[in-house]
Amino acid sequence: MSAISRTFIPPEKGTYRCKYGETAKLNHLNYTQWRRDIEFFLQAEQVLSIVLGGEVRPQGPNTKSNDFDKRAGIGAAIIHASCESSVKAYLHGLRDPHTMWEELRTKLDTVNSRAGRTAILRKFNQLCPTSDCSVADYITQLLECSKELSGTEQAIPKETFISHLLTTLPKSFDSIIDIITHRPEAEQTTDRVITTLIEWEASNRTCKTETEPTKSNAPATALATYTSRGFCRKGNFTTRNTTFNRIHPQGRSSVRNSSSYRRGGPASGPTCWYCLHPGHR
């Protein structure tokens, strides 16, 4: 088996993957995101102008027309492969990439209809952060709705975006929200508010990580140190026995019978089981 086949990772279900990256396959709900991602893939293959209708096929059979046909085939293949089965029904019988692109836009671009724009605005107003969602992920969801509605009559104003973002964050953000809301009006830009929240969350997470005791790692570290020095009762006694024999060549019985050992006795405290001297362990 070759190295390439061993390292190949199959794409997740519902994911289109190519050498330029990956994106979710087109369905009835993600047209805007799909279109942005696929446009980059098409541009990398030098076929975006054909798909958008800006480049037409040269007349007559020649080198330029052959190149156009080849690139048009690549564009049609990318569009078809990046759609889910439910969406491919709209492309049945179509081979021209520009016609395929326009058909998908007509059928799935909800921003083109007032009902679609209202649905996006409703989604924006109902969005709230969840316990397993970082503030960066939550802001990304809000920005997606804002980008889809930008340039339309239902575009989300800056003040509305910032107000919704700050009023839906949990109480743990109260301190940084107070700082943001007391800034001068000129500093209340969307980018600055977003940057402040993301940096504050990252800094707060780092502080918690540094101050929390690593209970799970402490026993393992202690055990590793304990064993590496030869002190583990179930481990190898070679290290401590060698040291003891070098200090007391006559053996342990000579230490037990020594005057220092007898003077210490049990009354002087515990006896070290390593060096056999009293007063420490």
The verdict on 64 and 82 lying in the same domain is yes
* Start-end of H helices in the chain: 3-7, 31-44, 48-51, 63-81, 85-88, 97-108, 114-126, 135-149, 158-168, 174-181, 190-211, 217-228, 238-247, 252-256, 259-264
Residue with the bigger pLDDT between 8 and 281: it is 281
- Domain termination residue (choose one: 59, 89, 108): 108
Residue 226 lies in a domain: no
pTM, two decimal places? 0.51
CA 77 → CA 90, 94, 95, distances in Å? 15, 11, 9
- Residue 53: inside a domain: yes
Look at residue 138 and tell me if it is in a domain.
Answer: yes
Q: What is the largest CA-CA distance in the chain?
A: 114
Q: Do residue 96 and residue 125 come from a single domain? A: no
**What pLDDT does 1 receive?**
41
Terminal CA-CA length for the chain: 59
**Do both 199 and 174 map to the same domain?**
yes
Phi, psi of 25 (to 5 degrees): -65, 150
Instruction: Tell me how many domains the chain contains.
Output: 3
Q: What is the pLDDT of residues 7-32, one digit of tens each?
A: 434 445 689 999 999 999 998 878 88
Which structural domain range is residue 154 located in? 114-208
Within-domain flag for 259: yes
Whole-number average pLDDT of the chain: 78
| pLDDT average, residue stretch 152-181 | 91
Q: What is the pLDDT of residues 187-235, one digit of tens each?
A: 889 999 999 999 998 888 877 666 655 544 544 443 344 344 443 444 4
Q: Does residue 9 sit in the same domain as residue 102?
A: yes
**Residue 221, domain member (yes or no):** no
Final residue belonging to a domain, choices 92, 108, 124: 108
Instruction: Determine, yes or no, domain membership for 49.
Output: yes
202 and 248 share a domain? Answer: no
70/179 Cα distance (integer angstroms): 57
Instruction: For residue 16, give the 3-state DSSP assignment.
Output: strand
Residues 142 and 64 grouped into a single domain: no
The residues, ordered by sequence, that sit 6+ positions from 53 with a Cβ below 8 Å of its Cβ are: 98, 102
Residues 41 and 60 in one domain: yes
